Amino acid sequence: AKAGVDPAMVEDVFMGCGMPEGETGMNVARNSLLWAGLPVTTSGTTVNRFCSSGLQAIAFAAHSIIVDQVPCAIGGGVDSITLVQPKAFNPKAGVVEKSLFKHPVYKALWMPMIDTADLVATKYGISRERQDAYALMSQQRTFAAQQAGKYNDEIVPLETEMAVTNKETKEVTYQKYTVVKDECNRGDTTIESLQKLKVLNGEKDPNATVTAGNASQLSDGASACLLMEEKEVERLGLTPLGRFEGFAVGGCSPEEMGIGPSIAVPRLLKRHNLTVNDIDLWEINEAFAVVSLFNMDFLKIDPEKVNVNGGSVSIGHPFGMTGSRQVGHILMEGKRRGAKKVVVTMCIGGGMGAAGLFTVL
């Protein structure tokens, strides 16, 4: 509706979901499109490539248009971490492939993401001080962007129920609540408050540096991007935000999954005869501050071009939706700044990276 397109035009919906089980199971793409008001003639499929699921969904939607002549499709993502994560990813529950779980390297497929971030920080010499300084910058950038209304145009108000727990009686009551903005930002964050936070793996790893302050925030969210063939856009007289140019992935050892963008980005740029310096804006998902820092260092990216309005450290990271949110945001911000070529990239659990190239229109 926000795009001004008849819902019946949408042929297929690709919805990324990092945890497509439990409350977000049963092909959440099909369920969500019907809940959103699209007709039964619109199909839907759920995509899971963990933290890149939203970006992957956009790539699949674009590919369906390019290859299969689909006139209109949606790529997006959704995750409800508060509902699903407590019941998922538990090796003790038997949700493992035993042959891999016993492998000296592949057992890291089940390694907690915090452990992989600490490993990257230690191996590549990224200090707690740098991570905290980056986290502070992310909080400050998101606060400034929200105050300036830079996120307003990409938010759709959502009516929901909020659980409220009485601190004294522990009684839980429910109140109607309308979400009008991302609520994870802590605009009053200081470097001193970040430095006081406990290292999460301190008891088992003396070199650990990841804290709740320099890691992404666990949150719930959904995002969707409408894609159309160029001639359809012209026929309907619509004004597009940007053009999908390409997508690439790359693999690495699962215990250092945070370096994934350093593999995917060069592959993407090479295929399009571009260099890092040709890219005007970057979204590098802040799964952890160390992830953005490592990949900026490795790829030699100007920090002033990266996550200019903050990222997952300060705005939250519902795994499957983040890539879609990043795409929408970078195209809008790119238009404000007069940018042309932009890249969205992220690390992926299990040892991968993904990157998408877009042109701002």
DSSP state letter for 288:
B
The catalytic position among 17, 72, 184, 347 is 347
- The catalytic position among 17, 51, 184, 252 is 51
Tell me whether residue 51 is one of the annotated catalytic residues: yes
- So what's the pLDDT on residue 163? 87
Token look-up 């409408």 returns 226
Q: Which of 211, 344, 349, 190 is nearest to 281 (CA)?
A: 344
Residue 29: which region, alpha, beta or left (left: phi > 0; alpha: psi -120 to 50)?
Answer: alpha
Closest by CA to 76, choosing from 36, 47, 41, is 47
pLDDT of amino acid 125: 98
Segments in the chain forming alpha helices (H): 28-35, 53-68, 81-84, 98-101, 113-123, 128-147, 191-195, 230-236, 261-271, 289-299, 312-315, 322-337
- Are the CB atoms for 307 and 292 separated by under 8 Å? yes
Q: pLDDT tens, 243-265?
A: 999 999 999 999 999 999 999 99
Q: Which two tokens stand for residue 28?
A: 């959440």
How much is the pLDDT for 88?
72
Q: Which of 17, 72, 317, 329 is catalytic?
A: 317
Measure the N-to-C terminal CA separation of the chain; round to a whole number of Å.
21
Residue 4: per-residue pLDDT: 86
* pLDDT at residue 94, as a whole number: 59
Tell me the two tokens of residue 145. Answer: 């962007």
Residues 285 and 332: beta-carbon distance below 8 Å = no
Predicted confidence pLDDT, tens digits, the chain (361 residues): 688 899 999 999 999 999 999 999 999 999 999 999 999 999 999 999 999 999 999 999 999 999 999 999 999 999 999 889 877 766 566 577 889 999 999 999 999 999 999 999 999 999 999 999 999 999 999 999 999 999 999 999 999 998 899 999 999 999 999 999 999 999 999 999 999 999 999 999 999 999 999 999 989 999 999 999 999 999 999 999 999 999 999 999 999 999 999 999 999 999 999 999 999 999 999 999 999 999 999 999 999 999 999 999 999 999 999 999 999 999 999 999 999 999 999 999 999 999 999 999 9
Whether residue 281 contacts residue 330, with contact meaning beta carbons closer than 8 Å, is answered with yes
Cα(287)–Cα(361) distance, integer angstroms: 28
Residue 281: strand, helix, or coil: strand
CA distance 211 to 217: 11
- The per-residue pLDDT for 87 is 75
Buried b (16+ CB within 10 A) or exposed e, 60-91: bbbbbbeeeebebbbbbbbbbbeebbeeebee
pTM: 0.96
Note the pLDDT tens digit of each residue in 297-334. Answer: 999 999 999 999 999 999 999 999 999 999 999 999 99
